[in-house]
Structure 1
């Protein structure tokens, strides 16, 4: 299935080397099922790239609306982490977590890899410019080799910036925020990487007013849906 709902929560981070195996076990067996049991959560994707020095791990959660990511049910879980979460969360490093309104999508199905492209508004550009040009941009990205889906979200840091008990568990860190993110799903990591220059050219040529791209291409490591959980 393609990304579902009208919003997504995007996460980038690293894990202390000694905790990487337990992190993946925890994320697959407890954490992602817990998140997908929360009302409004529709889909979760864990991403991984072992060959980069920073942000080796990523997660994308899809929600009905952006408000799902500060709903009472979600905040209750964030403020009452499990024993396993209490053990794993302190091993996180370089943690960046931002809720986004999904303003445009193109394509169907799932890719085996995903490019995440974090972007900032350029001088004079606004969120309205992004929204107006978003569908044309993602349609164009879909036409580029290796892409099977493209999605554009506007960051809503006021939603995901709420401090919780889980925030306290992770070591203090301040990662650079962004204004928008494009997610491009594709047939494989090397195929997407080969097309990154064309994706960036299309973004620069669009009317969205977005620049300063920060690109990471990941393999899809695990996926879970609310339907899988019987929700």
Structure 2
């Protein structure tokens, strides 16, 4: 089963330039150099609680527990250490399995609806019969937490304990207006979910 490493975070005020330079020139290329990492996408908030969303799509879930990936997490570079210690704020990071993937056209505007606790089964059952998978969305996925270890890596120890989600409904749109409308409706119907609207900043695909 393919997987997603789903990350939401803010950036320390005054560190934005260093943060962006590190992401574009070191971190994205480094992560996409790990075997099994397929594509990395970075988004910035249009209307969301946290400013940034990063989603790393991997060939299968085992990639996110692989020796090569763990080695990177346990041996951060000098720049990574600096940014992780003073750059990442309000970090949420969860290894997820991808399911119910629909739509071949990828949009640049994203709505994420996340649950932080509880059993998401009944919530997703209600969404399954709703319009959110088809009305205006070009692509949709469900991400289900597949965290299987409480062990903290050196990177996490540097930045402090990460928050986790149990599930996420992920929707892509071509334009901002229908995405915002969908987010507003989701907030009304599902007040316990954390709903955000994001715009694609950049993406990097693994070189074959």
Common fold: TM-score over 0.5: yes
Quote the offset at 1:141 in angstroms. Answer: 2.3
Aligned to 1:80: 75
Tell me if the contact between 1:41 and 1:62 (Cα under 8 Å) persists in the aligned partners. yes
Which of 182, 188, 195 matches 2:175? 188
Aligned to 1:59: 54
Distance in 1 of aligned mates of 2:41 and 2:166: 22
Aligned to 1:158: 148
Q: Deviations over 1:25-66 (max 9, x none)?
A: 1111110111111111111111112665x4101100011112
Distance in 1 of aligned mates of 2:120 and 2:53: 27
User: Normalized against structure 2, the TM-score is what?
Assistant: 0.87
1:11 aligns with 2:7: yes
Q: Gaps spanning 5+ residues in structure 1: where?
A: 205-210
Partner-residue secondary structure (3-state), 1:77: helix
When the two chains are superposed, the root-mean-square deviation of aligned CA atoms in Å is 2.7
Q: Gaps spanning 5+ residues in structure 2: where?
A: none
Quote the offset at 1:140 in angstroms. Answer: 4.2
Aligned to 2:134: 143
Q: Deviations over 1:53-92 (max 9, x none)?
A: x410110001111221111110000111111111111121
Distance in 2 of aligned mates of 1:154 and 1:212: 17
1:222 aligns with 2:177: no
Distance in 1 of aligned mates of 2:117 and 2:12: 33
Tell me if the contact between 1:138 and 1:152 (Cα under 8 Å) persists in the aligned partners. no
Residues 117, 51 of structure 1: CA spacing in aligned structure 2 closer, same or farther, 3 A cutoff?
A: closer
Distance in 2 of aligned mates of 1:64 and 1:138: 29
Residues 112, 174 of structure 1: CA spacing in aligned structure 2 closer, same or farther, 3 A cutoff?
A: closer
Q: Deviations over 1:82-116 (max 9, x none)?
A: 11111111121110100111121111122111111
Please state which structure has a larger fraction of its residues in helix.
1
Aligned to 1:178: 165
User: Normalized against structure 1, the TM-score is what?
Assistant: 0.79
Tell me if the contact between 1:144 and 1:199 (Cα under 8 Å) persists in the aligned partners. no
Aligned to 2:102: 106
